[in-house]
């Protein structure tokens, strides 16, 4: 059997090379070797995407190569996600998730979905490039407890504020907690636009969601 180092290096190389088959193969090896599935994706998969990004910035890679790398990472995520564990929540809640309008970077949001689902939350995933109005309608329709928005670009981040402003305008901001995340989204900026929290990764999104749902229930005077 391959060593941990060989598996991690093989997985990262497969992603950088945009090789879906090899990524799936190394992901299966990781599962067989009992490696931590979440760490494989977020740490080693994330490091591989950083290398891809460096190549993109140096103009060694262009959008098609970046897309192949993303598909290779996703092939690994498909194998590893059933093995990701999160502490089960004792507080049932509905979370609506979306990548904001204009943004199609959905790997991070998909990880958030995997971890929140593993923790036992009901997750309604609206996908990527979601118009603000459609997101607000879904929050109302599902009586969501939490909305989670993801943005990977400085040009699309302002959509998060747009959604929060719409919630305020429609008088429902107090009924739903808001978490935001993604590369360019800092905690300070998140708080400045009126979000409740900015978990730095998918695992932190579980803890943040639990805390905010408990707060929401307390504000509503509910016990469970
Ligand atoms: Co593009 N891209 N991309 N891209 N891409 C970035 C984001 C960029 C930083 C690259 C660069 O220029 N250096 C740059 C944005 C610059 C900026 O505005 N600051 C960029 C650009 C410019 C573009 C295009 C405009 C390129 C072009 O066409 N010329 C174009 C835009 C398309 C669009 O959205 N309209 C584009 C396209 C693409 C691809 C389609 C090829 C592909 C996306 C495929 C896909 O997602 N299905 C892609 C990719 C893969 C990247 C990079 C290389 C990697 C992103 C990624 O998947 N990381 C990225 C560079 C980078 O980020 N370093 C880049 C791995 C993933 C696990 O991490 O998504 O950050 P991440 O998620 C993390 C945390 O952020 C957090 O948890 C996750 C870890 O657990 N998190 C949350 C994320 N959402 C959260 C939500 C939460 C909580 C935590 O609560 C709700």
Model confidence pLDDT, tens digit, residues 119-159: 999 999 999 999 999 999 999 999 999 999 999 999 999 99
CATH of span 94-220: 3.40.50.280
pLDDT tier at 91 (50, 70, 90 boundaries)? Answer: confident
Comparing 4-83 with 94-220, is the CATH topology the same? no
Mean pLDDT of 96-103: 98
CA of 168 to the centre of ligand 1 (A): 28
DSSP state of 177: E
Helix ranges (DSSP H) in the chain = 4-17, 20-32, 37-39, 46-57, 63-80, 107-118, 132-142, 158-169, 187-192, 202-220
For residue 42 and ligand 1, the question of a CB distance below 6 A is answered with yes
- Rounded Cα gap, residues 215 and 219, in angstroms: 6
pLDDT tier at 28 (50, 70, 90 boundaries)? Answer: very high
CA of 152 to the centre of ligand 1 (A): 5
For residue 198 and ligand 1, the question of a CB distance below 6 A is answered with no
Model confidence pLDDT, tens digit, residues 193-213: 999 999 999 999 999 999 999
Domain ranges of the chain: 4-83, 94-220
pLDDT at 180 over 80: yes
pLDDT of residue 101: 98
- Rounded Cα gap, residues 59 and 188, in angstroms: 32
- Rounded Cα gap, residues 117 and 8, in angstroms: 26
Instruction: Determine which residue's CA is closest to atom 50 belonging to ligand 1.
Output: 70
pLDDT at 224 over 60: no
For residue 199 and ligand 1, the question of a CB distance below 6 A is answered with yes
CATH of span 4-83: 1.10.1240.10
Question: Candidates 56, 103, 105, 154: which one to mutate for ligand 1, based on the most atoms within 8 Å of Cβ?
Answer: 105
pLDDT of residue 223: 62
For residue 179 and ligand 1, the question of a CB distance below 6 A is answered with yes
């Amino acid at each position: 059997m391959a060593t941990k180092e060989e598996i991690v290096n093989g997985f990262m190389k497969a992603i950088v090379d945009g090789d879906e088959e090899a990524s799936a193969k190394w992901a299966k090896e990781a599962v067989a070797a009992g490696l931590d599935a979440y760490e494989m994706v977020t740490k080693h998969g994330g490091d591989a995407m950083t290398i891809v990004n460096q190549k993109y910035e140096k103009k060694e890679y262009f959008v098609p190569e970046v897309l192949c790398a993303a598909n290779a990472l996703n092939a690994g995520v498909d194998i590893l996600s059933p093995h990701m564990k999160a502490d089960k929540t004792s507080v049932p809640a509905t979370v609506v998730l979306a990548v904001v309008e204009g943004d199609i970077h959905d790997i991070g949001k998909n990880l958030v979905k995997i971890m929140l689902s593993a923790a036992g939350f009901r997750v309604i995933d609206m996908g990527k490039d979601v118009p603000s109005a459609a997101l607000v309608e879904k929050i109302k329709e599902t009586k969501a407890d939490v909305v989670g928005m993801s943005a990977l670009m400085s040009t699309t981040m302002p959509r998060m504020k747009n959604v929060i402003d719409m919630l305020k305008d429609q008088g429902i901001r107090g009924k739903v907690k808001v978490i935001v995340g993604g590369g360019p989204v800092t905690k300070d900026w998140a708080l400045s636009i009126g979000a409740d929290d900015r978990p730095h990764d998918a695992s932190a999104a579980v803890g943040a969601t639990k805390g905010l749902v408990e707060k929401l229930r307390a504000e509503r005077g509910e016990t469970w």
